[in-house]
Structure formats: C-alpha cells, structure tokens
Amino acid sequence: MENSIYNKQLYAILEKVSPVEPALWEELKAMVKVTAVKKRRYISGEEFDLHIVLSGMIIHRLDGNHSEGGQVQDFISSGQCFHHLEKRERSSFEADEDSVVVLIRNKKVMKLMVKYPKFTAHLQHFYAEALLRRTYRGTLIGLIAQDRKARFKKNYPAAYLKCSINDKSSFLGMTASYYSKIDI
C-alpha cells in the first residue's frame, strides 16, 4: 500500500474487530492492492477475492447492471467487505460514488489464515456481517412499505442519504414512484 491514509483506514477497520499483530500487518501492507473506483464503474476480481471498502458506497446488483436495471441486493459502505461470486450469482459490484477499495486475492487470504490464526477472527467478523446484510432483505418481506423504508433509513443511513431512489426502491422491492410517495 502506498498511501499512509489508506494504511490508517485499513488498520483502524481491522483493529476495531480484533488486535492486529505487527507481523500480520506488515504482510497485509505488502499484499493488498488499493484501488480508486469512479462512480458507475464496476469492480472486478477473481472468485472469492476479498474487497474491503475504505470509502464510498458499492452496490451489489443481481442479474444485470445499472443500465439494465439489475436488482439491488446490497449496499456496501466503508468498513464493510464483499467477495466476488459473480460467476455463481450472475451479479456485479458497482461504485455508487467515487470509492476506494482494498483487494486481497483469495490465495493470499488463505495464506494469511494459515500463518496468522488471529486473522480468522477478522474474516469471521466480515463474513458474519456480510451474511447479516444478505439476509436483511428477507426480514422486510412481511412489512408494509412505510415500515420497510423506515427500517432501511435506520439500518442503512449512508445509502438512504446518498443512493438513488431507483436503487433504494429496488432493494426494498417497490417501484421508485411508490417509494417517493411514502412519508416517514
């Protein structure tokens, strides 16, 4: 990693989960790739590569991209991660705003897990958080639209403020015009 600002951000994210031993940190700095992603650009990777979002917002879409109206599966913001599973899911990851992400290749993640068992605690945190976000939409199914929008505002404040109405309504399973009419 070249920029000390991004070093500090990544270190803070990891340290919040579990202490980062110095040897692990030195290896991480040497193997991660920091990438700036412009708005509406896609993030690519190999299967099971790990990306950690340092700043910005990434949208996970199923069955298409922004121009094709792909359904929004998730909003991934700073401090959160995602794995590449596009070939299995027919999905894409798109920057909703200018963003910075860190890439750790799958093979390197495995190497770190073996060499530094403490790193597994970091990964477990990221995976658990990702699974909770993935199942979040299922908790909204039985709710009326007003309650869905209110919960979304509470649980995804950055996405609620910054993302387009089309993306938010797609995530909540309603039309954009209906979403706009709901007053909370």
Phi first, then psi: give them for residue 35, nearest 5 degrees: -130, 130
- The tens digit of pLDDT for each residue in 87-121 reads 666 788 999 999 999 999 999 999 999 999 989 99
Q: Which CATH number fits domain 4-139: 3.40.50.300, 3.20.20.80, 2.60.120.10, 1.10.580.10?
A: 2.60.120.10
Largest CA distance in the chain: 54
Q: Residues, the chain, total?
A: 184
Q: Where are the domains of the chain?
A: 4-139, 141-184
Tokens at residue 63, please? 């069955």
**Kindly report the CA angle at 46 between 30 and 116, in degrees rounded to 5?**
40
Tokens 């299967």 belong to 47
- The tens digit of pLDDT for each residue in 1-56 reads 457 899 999 999 999 999 999 999 999 999 999 999 999 999 988 888 999 999 99
Q: Is the pLDDT of residue 126 over 50?
A: yes
Tokens 């199914």 belong to 141
Q: Which residues contact 79 (CB under 8 A, 6 or more apart)?
A: 13, 16, 52, 53
Taking the C-alpha atoms of residue 57 and residue 96, their distance in angstroms, rounded to an integer, is: 5
- Can you give the pTM of this predicted structure? 0.88
Distances (CA, A) of 176 to 18, 69, 77, 180: 40, 12, 22, 6
Burial environment of residue 104 by CB neighbours within 10 A (0 to 12, 13 to 18, 19 or more): buried
* pLDDT at residue number 131: 87
Q: Give the helix ranges, DSSP H, for 41-173.
A: 86-89, 106-115, 119-139, 145-155, 157-162, 165-172
